[in-house]
Amino acid sequence: MTTSYYPEEDWVAADWFAEAELVEYTSAQKPLPLDLILLAVVAVVIAGLVIGLSRLVADSPAPAITIPQNQDQAREQDVVEPSSAPIVPPIDTADPESFIMPYTTYQLTQGPHGMSYGHFAIDIAAGKGELILSPITGYVSQLYTDEIGNPTLVIENEVYQVTMLHGDYTVQLGQKVTLGDPLGTESNKGNTRDMSGNSCRNRDCGYHTHLNVYDKQAGQNVNPLNLISS
C-alpha cells in the first residue's frame, strides 16, 4: 500500500522515484581538501613542540643571581685574583735612609777604592750617555770640577752625603732632588782610564760613575753595595 502526501493529487512518492529512474544517490558532503589536512597536521606538530619546550624550560633550574649589597661588594666581584708573584714594597722616597744605585742596571767596574784621598768608593757603569739617578732624597750641596778635571756632584740629607764623579750633570747647586730623579748622564770626563790603565782623556773610553757614600750617623764612608743589600 502506498501513501500519498498530497491526497488531492493523484501523486505517489514511490511512483515518482520509479519514473525518475534514479539509479545512484550522490551524497552532498564533499571530502576535505588535501592542503587543509596537511595544514592541520603541521599545526598539531608545532603545538606539540611548543608544549614540550615550555615544559622543559619550566623544569630547568633558574640561574642564581647575586645582588651586591653595596658598592664595595660590587667592586669585589669584578676583581681578578692576582698572581702569586712576590710583592716588592715601594721605596719610601721621603725616608732619608732610603738609598738606590744611580742606575737601574749597571756593571761594577771597580770595587772599593780611594782610601788614599778619603773615599771608600766603587766604580759602576751603565753605558755612555745613560741617565744618572739620584741615590737619595736631599739637595745638591756641592757642584764643581776638581783640580784634575773631575766633574764632582755632592748630594746630601741628614743621613748620607753622596759624592759622584765624571758625569755630565744637569742639576743646579742648592736644588732639591728626590730619590730616582735624573741628575745628568754618564760620561768619562776627568781622570778616567781604560781596562789597561791608560788615560781616556780625549778618547772614547772609560765611561762610568765614581760613587762614594759617607754615613753621617756612623761618621765614616761606607760601601754603597752594602746599602742596597741590607
Q: Are 186 and 125 in contact (CB under 8 A)?
A: yes
What is the phi/psi pair of residue 102, to 5°? -70, -5
Over its C-alpha atoms, the chain yields an Rg (Å, rounded) of: 52
Q: What is the mean pLDDT of residues 152-161?
A: 98
Range among 25-39, 52-66, 144-158 rated most confident: 144-158
Tell me if residue 220 falls in helix, strand or coil.
Answer: strand
Give residue 183's pLDDT band: very low, low, confident or very high (50, 70, 90): very high
Q: State the Cα–Cα distance between residues 126 and 105, nearest whole angstrom.
A: 6
The pLDDT score that the predictor gives to residue 46 is 79
Among 38-42, 66-70, 73-77, 185-189, the range with the most confident prediction by mean pLDDT is 185-189
Share of the chain above pLDDT 90, in %: 57
Q: Mean pLDDT over residues 173-193, rounded?
A: 97
Q: Is residue 22 over pLDDT 50?
A: no
Report the relative pairing of strands 182-185 and 168-169 from DSSP bridges.
antiparallel
User: What per-residue confidence (pLDDT) applies to 43?
Assistant: 75
Angle value at C-alpha 20, between 18 and 25, nearest 5 degrees: 95
The domains found in the chain, sorted by start residue, are 13-57 (no CATH), 107-229 (2.70.70.10)
- The pLDDT-based confidence of 41 (bands split at 50, 70, 90) is confident
Rounded to whole angstroms, the Cα distance separating 3 from 14 reads 9
Query: In sequence order, which residues have a C-beta less than 8 Å from that of residue 80 and are 6 or more positions away?
Result: none
Give the global pTM: 0.62
Q: Please, what's the b/e burial string for 116-129 (b: 16 or more CB within 10 A of its CB; e: otherwise)? A: eeebbbbbbbbeee
* pLDDT (0 to 100) of residue 166: 97
When mean pLDDT is compared across 72-76, 123-127, 183-187, the lowest value belongs to 72-76
Q: Cβ distance 179 to 134 under 8 Å?
A: yes
- Asked if residue 37 has pLDDT above 80, the reply is no
Whole-angstrom distance, CA of residue 52 vs CA of residue 46: 10
Could you read off the pLDDT of 94-139 as tens digits, one per residue?
899 999 999 999 999 999 999 999 999 999 999 999 999 999 999 9
| Residue-level pLDDT at 137 | 97
